[in-house]
Amino acid sequence: MSDLGFDGRVAVVTGAGGGLGREYALLLASRGARVVVNDTGGSTAGEGADEGPADGVAREIRDLGGEATADTHSVATPEGGKAVVRTALDAYGTVDIVVNNAGILRDAPFHEMTADLLDPVLDVHLKGAFYVTTPAWNVMREQGYGRVINTISAAGVLGTANKSNYGSAKTGLIGLTRVLAAEGAAHGIKTNAVAPIALTRMLTQSLTRTGVQGKVPEPEPDRAEQAMTVERMRSFVDRLDPALVAPVVAYLAHEDCPVSGEMYTVGAGHVARFFVGRTDGYFNPALSMEDVRDHFDEIRDETGYTVPKDPGEETGRLFRTVQG
Ligand SMILES: NC(=O)c1ccc[n+]([C@@H]2O[C@H](COP(=O)([O-])OP(=O)(O)OC[C@H]3O[C@@H](n4cnc5c(N)ncnc54)[C@H](O)[C@@H]3O)[C@@H](O)[C@H]2O)c1
């Protein structure tokens, strides 16, 4: 089997001035894609701006013999999203691949989740994906080809404390991924999502809070078990090289990508699929509240679960159950 290349393809990678996005941009460019390296260069919370990160990665790619253009517009507004895609059109004439990767964190427990913590997170992750993908979508529809990769997170898919804003934005992107897969099918456009696990400044910030990275209180000498757990956790974290997420994103961005509307969890060189399953369930045409109580185990039983590919299949299943 031959190596996979991106000759002639144009990719926009948002938030590519560091962390995961930088690795995506480097890999795509090393395989021949012309890449727009977008990044505002702000803090993990999304404050401030700096041209340095986007410029630096674009230069790094060019120094390695690739083609790249830096872009520092924010994905968080419709104008910013249009400008990011405009950079690709002006520099390279088209856009074939969008990797929606830009992201920020503003964690707080739900009872302290104020609008100034919620709105910017929704704006960058969820609306940002709309704002960048929409102008690119029109180009992709016209050319009958495109690849979109959205960045989701286990923190949303599976849920974790203190991230109601982030988790909601990330799971909103699952819906966007599914709907774009449905709408893009007739136009040669495939959309998938990746939930990365990688040691970047973002993960470092989350881990610092949980005591795995940074100012970790040293375990007491007699607590050998605790010391081993922290040590093993540290060595695990050290293996979470963001470069090991990039091959999955690049494959999903390639014309050979065989799927659309799917989600992959990726870290340390491991790749697996997340999916939405449906239990076989319980049916009673005269369903009462007590029936629900009495059959709750059956309703939840994962034996024989299925993975509906679309709402039509789900409704079809219900139709067959109801009709007998
Ligand atoms: N690192 C992980 O383990 C992990 C886990 C799950 C999801 N993610 C997601 O992966 C993506 C990349 O995160 P990372 O871990 O590399 O962190 P990171 O902070 O290194 O990268 C995010 C980048 O996005 C840029 N950015 C922020 N707001 C922007 C805006 N409005 N416009 C353009 N660029 C903007 C930042 O400047 C930064 O360079 C994020 O969407 C994040 O939520 C990461």
Please answer whether residues 261 and 185 qualify as being in contact, where contact means their C-beta atoms are separated by less than 8 angstroms: no
> Cβ contacts of residue 112 below 8 Å, gap of 6+?
none
- List, by residue number, the catalytic residues: 166
Distance, CA of 72 to CA of 90 (rounded, Å) = 15
The pTM of this model reads: 0.95
Distance, CA of 143 to CA of 186 (rounded, Å) = 12
> Which residues in the chain are classed under CATH 3.40.50.720?
10-198+240-274
Q: Can you give the pLDDT of all 324 residues of the chain as single tens digits? A: 789 999 999 999 999 999 999 999 999 999 999 999 999 999 999 999 999 999 999 999 999 999 999 999 999 999 999 999 999 999 999 999 999 999 999 999 999 999 999 999 999 999 999 999 999 999 999 999 999 999 999 999 999 999 999 999 999 999 999 999 999 999 999 999 999 999 999 988 877 765 444 444 455 556 666 667 778 888 899 999 999 999 999 999 999 999 999 999 999 999 999 999 999 999 999 999 999 999 999 999 999 999 999 999 999 999 999 998
Which three-class secondary structure state does DSSP give residue 128? helix
- The answer to whether the CB of 36 is under 6 A from ligand 1 is no
Please answer whether residues 157 and 170 qualify as being in contact, where contact means their C-beta atoms are separated by less than 8 angstroms: yes
Distance, CA of 210 to CA of 19 (rounded, Å) = 20
- Give me the phi and psi of 214, to 5 degrees please: 70, -135
- Give the Å distance between the CA of 79 and the centre of ligand 1: 20
Cα end-to-end span (Å), the chain: 48
The CATH code for residues 10-198+240-274 is: 3.40.50.720
- The answer to whether the CB of 249 is under 6 A from ligand 1 is no
- Give the residue among 247, 237, 246, 245 at the shortest CA–CA distance from 266: 245
Instruction: Tell which one of 84, 202, 240 to mutate to probe ligand 1, the residue whose CB is within 8 A of the most ligand atoms.
Output: 202
- Give the Å distance between the CA of 104 and the centre of ligand 1: 6
